[in-house]
Structure 1
Amino acid sequence: MSVTELLTAILVLGGSALALTAAIGLVRFPDTLSRMHSATKPQVLGLLLVLSGAAIRLRGSIDAGVFILTGIFTLVTAPVIAQRVGQLAYREGNAREDLLAVDALRERAEGDAGEPDAGQH
């Protein structure tokens, strides 16, 4: 087994393990905010590791560029989606207050309650 094959195997297996932990977190965590955290952080890193392993294995192929584009797209969209899902869960009251260490949105939500266009900023 060459060094390249070993590195590829480590990256793919490590990425797969992170994706597995994300899936377990989606099932096991109690509320939307915790699930959202589990669905974004380890899943994105796991995907990047798998894509890196595949790109190393297919080096010199035109398909490696598609892996790079996929990784960039994931890095750009995952945080935005997570932030929007978190805001929506908070506004709908699906966040467990006992699990929040700091509630930074409470003051803003209370301040927006009196405005006629609240939530449309």
Structure 2
Amino acid sequence: MKAICTEFGAVVRFYLAMLGFALIITMVGVCFALNSGALPHSPDEWNTHVTAPLKDFAIQASNPTLMGSMVDAFLKCDFHAGCVQELRQQATAFGREAEFAEIEAQSSMLRKEYTKMRDAKGMW
């Protein structure tokens, strides 16, 4: 019986060690993402890069003449995955998924243009 308990204890210790290791790796990844700018640091930054573009997009998506504004809202997201997903849902809700798909298809070209404009204006 003692051998079974010893083996069970070893298995439990092994799984706890793996869980701890996974937690450490996760924390390092999150810290790296925060420091690299991949994730917004503060609520104000999140509002600037994610929430505000979503609100803009919701208003602009209801007006079919504002395709340029939809592109602007997409680019203001700075390609955060959650923000882009939310914009996609907004476009679907307003029946503009075809236009949004076109914007996504041209995203690399749009990003280059946006980066050029942003750098020229000295934004961020």
Length-normalised TM-score, structure 2: 0.27
Structure label with greater radius of gyration: 2
More helix by share: 2
Higher relative contact order, structure no. (Cα contacts within 8 Å, ≥ 6 residues apart): 1
